[in-house]
Structure 1
Amino acid sequence: MLDRLPDTPHPRLWLALFCVLLWLPGFFTIPPGDRDESRFAQATRQMVDTGDYVRIRLGDEERNKKPAGIHWAQAAIVHVLEATHLGGRADIWAYRGASFLGALLAVLACFHWGRALVGRRAAFVGAALLGSALVLVVEVHIAKTDAALLASITAAMGLMGAAYLAPAGFTARRAAAFWGALGIGILLKGPIAPMVPLLTGLSLFLMDRGWRNGTPWLRALRPAWGVPLMLACAAPWFIAIGIATEGRFFAEAVGDDMLGKVGAGGERHWGPPGFYVAIFGVTAFPAAFFVLQALPSAWAQRVQPPVRFLLAWAVPVWLVFEAVATKLPHYALPAYPALMLLAARWMLDPLATKPRAWLRWLAIAALWGVALVLPAALLVAIWLVDGSRVDVFAALALVAGVLLAVVVTREARAGRWVRAGLSAVILAIPFYSAILEGALPRIDAVWLAPRVAAALHRADPALPIPVPPGRFGIAGYHEPSLLFATGGATALLRDGTAAAAFLAETPGRTVAVSDRDETRFRAEATRFGLRPREMGLVSGINISRGRWLTLQLYGVE
C-alpha cells in the first residue's frame, strides 16, 4: 500500500490529508505563545479593531520590524471567520490560519514543481517529508511569518528550477508568477525571499561557468521587467508606511532589526557557525534520517542539472544563515524543500551512492534521539513545573516515538525506502498529537496570560475582555501574550509603586502585581491611604525569562 501511494491519482489530496492530520493537533488548543506569536497576533488584532492596515502597532507602540503582509493575511482570515461565525479576533488559532495555509501551499508547491526536478514519485515523498518536519509543524502552530514565507520561496524556487531545466519552454506567464511570488515574499519578510534565488543564481553561474556558457535560465526569467514587477508588488505599502511613520519604519526595520541580527545576536538569540547543522536532527525530524544519508550521493551527482539546482538552492542559503550571528531554529527553513527533494530522489534511486557507516549511524542516532529524548524531556519538564504530575500524553508520545523509530529503522535496513519515508510521516501523526494536543495545552504553569485573564474575569465579571482603557494594569509581567489575552489597552506598569499610583488614580481599577513588586506596592498603597483588596492569585513560570512568578490581583475596598 505505502509503496503504491506515490502513484496515487490524487497526490495533492493525500498530501493535504497528511498535513491536516500532522498539524491540526494543538492548533486550536495551545494558548498564545510568547513572544513572537502574541506580538504578531496582537498587532493584527489592533489592525482589525482600528481599521488602520498601514501602521503596525503593539499596544501604544509602533512595531517597525517586519512588513505588513502577514498581518493582512491574518486579518483577512479573521474577517472571513467572523463573517461566517466560525471564529473571531479573540481566538489565537484564527491568526495561525495564515501559517497553516502557508505551510500547506509550501508542501503542495514542493510536490508540484518538484516533479520536474526529481520525478513524480520522489516529489510526493519529498513533499510529505517536508510536511512532517518538526520545525514546520511548530511554525504552523505559531501565528507569524515563516510558514507563509516558505510558501512564496518554494513557489518561486520551483519556477526558477523549471527555467533552469527548460529555459526554452519557460513562458512569460511563469516568469511573472516567479517575480510575483518574490514580491509577496518581500511583503512578508523583506529581502529574505529574493535572497534565496539570488544566492542560487550566483551559485549556478559559478558552477556552470556562466561567463563562458551563458545563462539561458536568467534570460527565461525576464528580469528586465520582472524586477520592477517584484518591486511594484510591495512598493505601495512601503511608500505608505514611510509617509505614515515619517521614515521611522525603515530606520528601525533595516537599521535595528535586520542589520542588528547580522552582526550581533538579536534579542539574545546568538549562535555559533554550525548551529543549524548541530540541531538539524531535531528540526528536520523525522526526515533528517533520510537527508543525512542522501547528502553524499547528492554531492556525487552534482553534475546532473536537477541535483545541481537543488544543491545551489540549499547550500548557499544554509551557509548564509550559519554566518549570521542571530540564530533561531526556523531561519534555515527556506533550504528544507530542496533538502527533502534530494533525500527523496536518493530514496527512489536504486543506483545511488550508499552512505558510509558513520553517517548511517549518525542518522539512526538522530532518529532515535529525538523520538526518545523529546517526549522524555517533556515528561520530566511537566513533573518539575506542574506539581510532580506524570503526564499520560507525554508517556504516550514516548511510546509513539519508539514505534516510529523501530518501524523506520526496520524498513530502511530492508531497503524499502519509500515505505520507510511514508511510515515516518504517518507515525509522526500520533507522536505529534500526543505532544501538541495532549501534553502541551495542559501544562497550566507555563500559560500565565490566559490564567490572568480568567482570574480577572472571575474577580470582576462585569469587566469586559479585552479590557477598556484605564481599567486594568499590571506590574512585573509584560509579555505580549498578556496583551493578547486581556487587550492592547492593558497598562504595563513599571513597578509596584506605579501599580499603587494607577490604582489610586481612578475608582474601579484593578491591578496585578508580581511577588517581586509586592513590597513597594504595599508601601506606596499605604502612602496613598489605600486599602488594597485581594481579588485573585495566579502562579506559574514565565518561560520567556525562565523564572517562577506569582501575580496577585488587587482592587480597592
Structure 2
Amino acid sequence: MSPVHAHPHDRRRFWLLMLIALVIVGAGIGLRDPWPSDEPRFALAAKQMVEGGDWMFPHRGSELYADKPPVLMWAEAASFELVRNWRIAFLLPSLLAALGTLALVYDLGRRLWSREAGLYGAAALLLAFQFVYQTKRAQIDPLVMFLITAGNWGLLRHLLLGPHWRAYWLGCFCAGLGVITKGVGFLPLLLLLPYAFARRRGWEGATTMGTGNALRWWLGPLAVLAAIALWLVPMLLAARAHADDPAYAAYVRDILFHQTADRYARSWGHIHSPFYYVPIVLFSWLPLSLAYPGTLPRWWRALKAKDARVLLPLAWVGLVLLFFSIPSGKRDVYILPALPMVALASAPFLPELLQTRWLRTAGLAFIGLFGTLLFVVGAYALLAHPPFAAHWAEQRGFDGGARALFGWLAAIGAAQLALAAWLRLPRAAWAVGGGMVALWLGWSFGIAPLLNDSSSAAGLMARARAQLGPGDRIGLVAWKEQNLLMLDRPATDFGFTRPWTEQFAAAVAWQAQDPAHRWLFAQEPAMGNCVRRERALDLGHANRREWWMFKADAVIPGCTPDPAAEATDAEVGE
C-alpha cells in the first residue's frame, strides 16, 4: 500500500496519537499563570498590545522591548482575542506548535518510509522529555521549533521526494517566518549543504532537479526575504514615523544587530563549554536517546548504503549542533529544533528496535529508576522533614502545601513503579509511555498549581493589591515582568533597564507629588538604607527575592541607595 493512501486503521492510530499529545501537552492549561523568566515577559508584552493597541512595537511597561521580534507576542495576543482568558492564551501557541510539529514529523516519516515509521517517529518525539517540557511552557522556542520543522518539511519534500517546487518555496517561507520569530529560523536552509553533497556523490533518494531551474531555486531565498519583510518593512516605516523619539531608533539598532549577529559573536550570558550539548542530547532527549546504541549502527549502515533519507536529517542535526556550539553562550533549549529530526531519522528503525530485549530492558530500567527516584525523594521529604526540603520551600517562597507537593512526587513515582511492575519486559514500551504520561499529568494537575502562587508572583501581587485603598496608586522600582503582569491593575514604572538608583530617585519624586495615595513597590536591595523598614510593609519572599511596599513617610529624605546592590540581582536569576 502507498504510504500516502491510508487504511482507516492507520488514520485512527494517527488521530489517537494526536489526542494523546493534546492531553499530555494541553494538561494543566488554565491552572497556572506565566512563570519567570521568559513567560511573564512575553505575556506582559502581549497584554500591553491588547490593552494599548500598539501591536508593532512590544513594550515592557513604559519601555520598548527589543530583545525578540514580536511574533510570539502577536500569537499570544491573538489567542487572547479568541479565548479572552490569559491563563489559556499565553500557552495556546506552544500547544499548537507541539501538535503541528508532531504532525509534520509523522507526515515526513510516512512519505519517506511508511505510515508505521511516521507514527513511531512522532510517538518518540512526544515521549522525549525536552519536547514536552518546553512545549508546556510559553517561550519562543516551541514556535521556532515548529517553523523550523515546517521549513525542513518543505525542503525535504523537495530534496528527497521531488522535485516539488511549491513545497520548497513554502519551506523557505517558513524559514523566513522563523527568522522574524527568533533569528535562528534560517536553519532549514542548511539542508541544502548535505543535499549538494548527496547529489554530487550520487546518493540514492536525492532528487534530480534537471537543468534550467536557476530561477526556481532563487525564488527560495526570495520567499525567505518576503516572510521577513512582512514584519521588517512595516516596523521600519513605523519607526521612521517616530523619528523624533530616539527610543525607536535604538529599538531598530538593538533588534536588528545587537540581539542577532552581535549576540551570536559576543555572547554575554549562559557561558558554557563547546561540549555543553552532549549531556542534553543524551539525557534531555530521554527516552528516545535510549535507542542510540541501536540507531547509531543502523544510521551508519544507511549512510554506507548512500541513503539520502538518513543523510539529510542527520547531517542537518550535526550542522545545528555545530552552529550552536561555536558561540560561548549556550542554553539547552537552543537545540530543541534538532530533536524532531533525530526522531525522524530514528523512525524507520524503531519498530525493529522495540522488539529487541536490550532496548526493552533499558526502557524498563529507565522508568523504574525514574519512579524510584521520585518516590524516594517524595516519601523521604514527607516522613523525615529533611533540611533540604525546608530550604527549598523557603528559597522558592513556597508558603503552604509543601507536603502536598512532595506527596505528588511520591504518587508519580509510585505510578511509574506500578506500571513497570505490571507491564514488565514484554510491554516495556507501554510502561515507558505510561510512565511519562503519569509524570506530565501529575506535574500539570498537581505540582504546577501548587507552585503557581509563588512561582508566578500571583500571591505576592495579591498581597500588594490588598494594601491599596480607593484612589491609591502604586509605583514599581527594580521590578520584574511578573510583578506588573500579575498586579492586574494600572501602575507607574520608572523604566526596567534603567539603573535602580535612577528608578528609586524618580519614584520618590513621583510619590512626593501625592504622598497620601501613592505607594512604592520594590525589591529589598534597591531600597538600600533609604527606607525605614519599621514603617514599610514586608510582602514576603517570591522568585528568590524579598519584596516591600512603603509610603512616603518611610523614605529617608536625600538618601541614595547603593548602586552595587543591582549587580547582585543578576546573580539571583529566576
TM tier, smaller: 0.7 to 0.9
1:490 Cα deviation from its structure 2 partner:
3.7
Distance in 2 of aligned mates of 1:294 and 1:409: 27
- Quick one: which of 192, 204, 226 aligns to 2:195? 204
1:331 Cα deviation from its structure 2 partner:
0.7
Distance in 2 of aligned mates of 1:436 and 1:206: 45
Aligned to 1:129: 124
- Quick one: which of 457, 468, 471 aligns to 2:465? 457
Distance in 2 of aligned mates of 1:327 and 1:14: 36
Q: Give the secondary-structure state (helix, strand or coil) at the position aligned to 1:34.
A: coil
CA spacing shift, 1:211–1:56, aligned 2, 3 Å: farther
Q: Give the secondary-structure state (helix, strand or coil) at the position aligned to 1:482.
A: helix
Q: Give the secondary-structure state (helix, strand or coil) at the position aligned to 1:312.
A: helix
CA spacing shift, 1:368–1:316, aligned 2, 3 Å: farther
Aligned to 2:244: none
Gaps of 5+ in 1: 465-470, 526-531
Aligned to 1:185: 178
Q: Which amino acid aligns with 2:191?
A: T
Gaps of 5+ in 2: 1-6, 241-248, 555-574
Q: Give the secondary-structure state (helix, strand or coil) at the position aligned to 1:443.
A: helix
Aligned to 2:272: 271
Q: Contact 1:130–1:136 at 8 Å: present in 2 too?
A: yes
Q: Give the secondary-structure state (helix, strand or coil) at the position aligned to 1:522.
A: coil
Distance in 2 of aligned mates of 1:284 and 1:351: 17
Distance in 2 of aligned mates of 1:313 and 1:408: 36
Alignment of 1:364-379 (within 5 A): 373=373
Aligned to 1:51: 53
Distance in 2 of aligned mates of 1:367 and 1:265: 37
- Quick one: which of 441, 444, 450 aligns to 1:433? 441
Q: Contact 1:77–1:94 at 8 Å: present in 2 too?
A: yes
2:474 paired with 1:483 = no
Please list the CA deviations of residues 310-361 of structure 1 after superposition, one character each: whole Å capped at 9, or x if unmatched: 2123221122122232211111111111111233322213699x89x9x999
Aligned alpha-carbon RMSD (Å):
3.8
After TM superposition, the score normalised by the length of structure 2 is 0.78
Please list the CA deviations of residues 263-305 of structure 1 after superposition, one character each: whole Å capped at 9, or x if unmatched: 3443x31121221221334422333323464233223322222
1:397 Cα deviation from its structure 2 partner:
3.6
1:375 Cα deviation from its structure 2 partner:
7.5
Q: Give the secondary-structure state (helix, strand or coil) at the position aligned to 1:66.
A: coil
Please list the CA deviations of residues 427-454 of structure 1 after superposition, one character each: whole Å capped at 9, or x if unmatched: 3122122223312332368436222321
Aligned to 1:538: 539
Aligned to 1:165: 160
Aligned to 2:148: 153
Please list the CA deviations of residues 120-154 of structure 1 after superposition, one character each: whole Å capped at 9, or x if unmatched: 11211221222232222232233232111212222
Aligned to 2:450: 442
Alignment of 1:215-294 (within 5 A): 216=208, 222-246=216-240, 248-266=250-268, 268-291=269-292, 293-294=294-295
Q: Contact 2:494–2:507 at 8 Å: present in 1 too?
A: no
Q: Give the secondary-structure state (helix, strand or coil) at the position aligned to 1:474.
A: strand
Aligned to 1:318: 321
Aligned to 2:565: none
Aligned to 2:109: 114
CA spacing shift, 1:80–1:212, aligned 2, 3 Å: closer
Distance in 2 of aligned mates of 1:452 and 1:114: 48
Distance in 1 of aligned mates of 2:263 and 2:80: 31
Q: Give the secondary-structure state (helix, strand or coil) at the position aligned to 2:475.
A: strand
Aligned to 2:519: 510
Aligned to 1:175: 168
2:339 paired with 1:336 = yes
Distance in 1 of aligned mates of 2:520 and 2:530: 10
Q: Contact 1:261–1:325 at 8 Å: present in 2 too?
A: no
Distance in 1 of aligned mates of 2:263 and 2:59: 21
Q: Give the secondary-structure state (helix, strand or coil) at the position aligned to 1:188.
A: coil
CA spacing shift, 1:151–1:388, aligned 2, 3 Å: closer
Distance in 1 of aligned mates of 2:417 and 2:540: 38
Q: Contact 2:521–2:547 at 8 Å: present in 1 too?
A: no
Alignment of 1:342-361 (within 5 A): 342-349=345-352
Question: Which stretch shifts more, 430-439 or 104-113?
Answer: 430-439
Q: Contact 2:122–2:344 at 8 Å: present in 1 too?
A: yes
2:546 paired with 1:549 = yes
